[in-house]
């Protein structure tokens, strides 16, 4: 029978429930169990696809084209398992499905209520994630006590009754603050949080206590006593340098053993040697390269969470630490690219939507191309690279995207004829698509393969009308759809590293398996730093055959 673990949070948000869920998933998977991770978000949006990055952060796209919460990125990176639509549920999805059923008459005139209809729908989603899995770990978004989260917690309470106490448990993530004026930690917020959870009918089986300071045995015993939890199940989770330390921290306090014992599961010995090796290489890297990320949402770095992590993975593989210089593309428009980018070893131009800051991105790309600086464009970054090249190399000075300039005489970026529809998301290319690589290209050398599959999230495409002219001017189309109609990768062979992709490679990078393009880009940045220092550069690592997920 499938076992279930629910992860809740209390006191404040942003305590790291997603990291805790991902870490527990890793520990159970490294014991040979089949693990499914799932996130419930209590907001009424159907998905985060139309939400502002400043409010929600990154939209994590799965292989099946689902636009999901960024925590699913943590789940995939820690467990190295590709997730899908069934692994992220919002309150908006639940209510939307119920209202559609009610309008069809499915409820035969009955009153549709939170209990049982909403809670039953939530329980169906819980069970749906557990097909062919030994354990389902479900994170409940938000904080215990939030009004919008109550139906989800009520569903969990009912679910525990239905499957029985030996098949279900609750891990509660809470805060034990350190009061500097008093020079002591305070357990009262945790006590109140657990009391709130118990008032809903849920007793935590494990507490993960987030803290700035180490918690002594006496503090852990006090928390356990007042919260009705064994002391050994009160686990201190202090701040760490890297999120990839958290699984080791939890395993040292035997979280995985407690979960296995509580659920009556038998499993293999824990295998974390490769994870420890990765973490050790991360910690001992002494060299540093600085790479600029020139984007529109740099005020909230969670908008680029997967890019940040992909840089970490690629840095480990190249034996360096990647320091990111956050550059607002609007500032580039007013202050100039050279003033903001000088001194970095590479420039990455990420994705985004809308006209704001576009000219700054284009200016940053031109500066990197003309300076011989490694440049990596992602999604909108590819489109800006094509616009820049068309303007300044091909000589089409008014080249633009029809997204930003509908009347441009040279729409090098355009909607294709079959892209019609007014519903947001209805015209987007979402999810995994194949990409055929051009032999002998930088892209093919990086991947070490002839065809790959990558995740997309965009509407506009490189216009086929201009492909031949761009190629004739020196911009190689090194990756395309199997029918050759959609441009996936462009590069400039005469440049040390000038490559842009229409997809989002960062979404498939893993701590122990960095994405080949990020790995190659960081290697190029490292070479640039070496040349700038006047030493002989190391050769870039050759790509082996790679396919993520």
In a domain, 154, yes or no: yes
Q: Name the nearest CA neighbour of 28 among 62, 79, 64.
A: 79
Runs of H (alpha helix) within 393-541? 442-447, 467-472, 516-532
Instruction: Provide mean pLDDT across the span 19-47.
Output: 97
Domain count, the chain: 2
Phi first, then psi, for residue 441 (nearest 5°) are -85, 165
Same domain membership, residue 185 and residue 64:
yes
In a domain, 544, yes or no: no
Same domain membership, residue 313 and residue 178:
no
Same domain membership, residue 164 and residue 21:
yes
Question: Is pLDDT above 90 for 103?
Answer: yes
Question: Is pLDDT above 70 for 138?
Answer: yes
Residue 543: what pLDDT? 52
Residue 533: what pLDDT? 81
Residue 535: what pLDDT? 57
Residue 286: what pLDDT? 87
Domain boundary among 276, 297, 332: 276
Instruction: Provide mean pLDDT across the span 389-412.
Output: 96
Q: CB under 8 Å to 493, separation ≥6 — which residues? A: 441, 442, 474, 476
Which residue out of 333, 403, 454, 506 is catalytically annotated? 506
Residue 544: what pLDDT? 52
Instruction: Provide mean pLDDT across the span 199-211.
Output: 97
In a domain, 95, yes or no: yes
Instruction: Provide mean pLDDT across the span 127-151.
Output: 94
In a domain, 379, yes or no: yes
Instruction: Provide mean pLDDT across the span 195-216.
Output: 95
Instruction: Provide mean pLDDT across the span 194-217.
Output: 95
Q: Name the nearest CA neighbour of 365 among 547, 214, 517, 497.
A: 497
Same domain membership, residue 355 and residue 327:
yes
In a domain, 458, yes or no: yes
Question: Is pLDDT above 90 for 536?
Answer: no
Q: Give the Å distances, CA to CA, from 501 to 230, 315, 330, 532.
A: 52, 20, 22, 27
Q: How far is CA 315 from the centre of its chain?
A: 18
What is the tens place of the pLDDT at every residue in 320-370?
Answer: 999 999 999 999 999 999 999 999 999 999 999 888 999 999 999 999 999
Percent over 90 (pLDDT), the chain? 89
In a domain, 81, yes or no: yes
| Beta-bridge partner residues of 433 | 454
Runs of H (alpha helix) within 10-66? 17-29, 53-56
Report the C-alpha gap between 545 and 549 in whole angstroms. 13
DSSP letter for each residue of 125-136: HHHHTTTT-SEE
Question: Is pLDDT above 60 for 256?
Answer: yes
In a domain, 394, yes or no: yes
Task: Map 104-125 to HEC letters.
Answer: HCCCCCCCCCHHHHHHHHHHHH
What is the tens place of the pLDDT at every residue in 168-181?
Answer: 999 999 999 999 99
Question: Exposed, middle or buried, 450 (CB in 10 Å: 0-12/13-18/19+)?
Answer: exposed
Same domain membership, residue 296 and residue 255:
no
What is the tens place of the pLDDT at every residue in 372-383?
Answer: 999 999 999 999
Same domain membership, residue 337 and residue 243:
no
Q: CB under 8 Å to 255, separation ≥6 — which residues? A: 24, 27, 206, 208, 235
Could you tell me the pLDDT band of residue 416, with boundaries at 50, 70 and 90?
confident
Letter string b/e over residues 428-449, b meaning 16 or more CB atoms within 10 A of that residue's CB? bbbbbbebbbbeebbbbbbbeb
Print the domain residue range for 28.
3-276
Mean pLDDT across the chain? 94
Same domain membership, residue 109 and residue 50:
yes
Same domain membership, residue 291 and residue 256:
no
Which residue out of 168, 379, 384, 435 is catalytically annotated? 379
Same domain membership, residue 327 and residue 385:
yes
**CATH number, residue 169:** 3.40.50.300
Q: Where are the beta strands (DSSP E) in 239-319?
A: 287-295
> Would residue 379 show up in a list of annotated catalytic residues for this protein?
yes
Same domain membership, residue 356 and residue 232:
no
Domain boundary among 230, 254, 276: 276
Residue 422: what pLDDT? 45
Which residue out of 56, 172, 313, 504 is catalytically annotated? 504
> Would residue 547 show up in a list of annotated catalytic residues for this protein?
no
What are the tokens at 219?
């503090």
Same domain membership, residue 338 and residue 272:
no
Same domain membership, residue 237 and residue 290:
no
In a domain, 417, yes or no: yes
What is the tens place of the pLDDT at every residue in 460-519?
Answer: 999 999 999 999 999 999 999 999 999 999 999 999 999 999 999 999 999 999 999 999
């Amino acid at each position: 029978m499938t076992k279930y673990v629910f992860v809740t949070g209390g006191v404040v948000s942003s305590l790291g429930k997603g990291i805790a869920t991902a870490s527990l998933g890793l520990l159970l998977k490294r014991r040979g169990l089949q693990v499914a991770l799932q996130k419930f978000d209590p907001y009424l949006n159907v998905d985060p696809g139309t939400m502002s990055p400043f409010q929600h952060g990154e939209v994590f796209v799965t292989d099946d084209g689902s636009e999901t919460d960024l925590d699913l990125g943590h789940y995939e990176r820690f467990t190295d398992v590709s997730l899908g639509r069934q692994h992220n549920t919002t309150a908006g999805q639940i209510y939307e499905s119920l209202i559609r059923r009610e309008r069809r008459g499915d409820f035969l005139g009955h009153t549709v209520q939170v209990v049982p209809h909403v809670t039953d729908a939530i329980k169906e989603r819980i069970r749906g994630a557990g097909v062919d899995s030994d354990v389902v770990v479900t994170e409940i978004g938000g904080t215990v006590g939030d009004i919008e989260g109550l139906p989800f917690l009520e569903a969990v309470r009912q679910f525990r009754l239905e499957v029985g106490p030996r098949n279900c448990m609750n891990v509660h993530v809470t805060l034990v603050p350190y009061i500097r004026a008093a020079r002591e930690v305070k357990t009262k917020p945790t006590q109140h949080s657990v009391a709130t959870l118990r008032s809903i009918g849920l007793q935590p089986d494990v507490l993960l206590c987030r803290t700035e300071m180490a918690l002594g045995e006496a503090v852990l015993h006090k928390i356990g006593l007042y919260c009705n939890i064994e002391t050994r199940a009160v686990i201190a989770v202090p701040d760490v340098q890297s999120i990839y330390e958290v699984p080791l921290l939890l395993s040292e306090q035997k979280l995985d053993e407690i979960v296995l014992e509580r659920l009556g599961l038998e499993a293999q010995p824990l295998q974390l040697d490769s994870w420890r090796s990765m973490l050790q290489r991360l910690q001992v890297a002494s060299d540093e390269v600085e790479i600029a990320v020139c984007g529109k949402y740099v005020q909230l770095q969670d908008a680029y969470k997967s890019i940040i992590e992909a840089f970490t993975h690629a840095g480990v593989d190249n034996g360096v630490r990647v320091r990111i210089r956050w550059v607002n593309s609007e500032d580039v428009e007013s202050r100039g690219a050279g003033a903001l980018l000088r001194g970095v070893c590479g420039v990455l131009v990420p994705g985004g939507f809308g006209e704001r800051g576009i000219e700054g991105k284009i200016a940053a790309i031109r500066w990197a191309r003309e300076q011989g600086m490694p440049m990596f464009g992602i999604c909108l970054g590819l489109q800006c690279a094509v616009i820049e090249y068309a303007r300044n190399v091909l000589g089409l000075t008014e080249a633009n995207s029809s997204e930003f300039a509908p009347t441009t005489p040279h729409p090098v970026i355009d909607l294709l004829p079959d892209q019609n529809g007014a519903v947001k998301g209805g015209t987007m290319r979402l999810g995994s698509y194949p990409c055929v690589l051009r032999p002998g290209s930088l892209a093919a050398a990086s991947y070490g393969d002839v065809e790959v599959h990558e995740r997309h999230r965009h509407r506009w495409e490189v216009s086929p009308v201009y492909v031949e002219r761009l190629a004739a001017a020196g911009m190689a189309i090194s990756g395309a759809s199997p029918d050759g109609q959609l441009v996936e990768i462009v590069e400039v062979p005469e440049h040390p590293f000038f490559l842009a992709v229409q997809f989002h490679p960062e979404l498939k990078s893993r701590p122990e398996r960095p994405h080949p393009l990020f790995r190659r880009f960081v290697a190029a940045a490292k070479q640039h730093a070496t040349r700038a220092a006047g030493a002989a550069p190391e050769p870039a690592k050759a790509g082996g055959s790679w396919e993520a997920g």
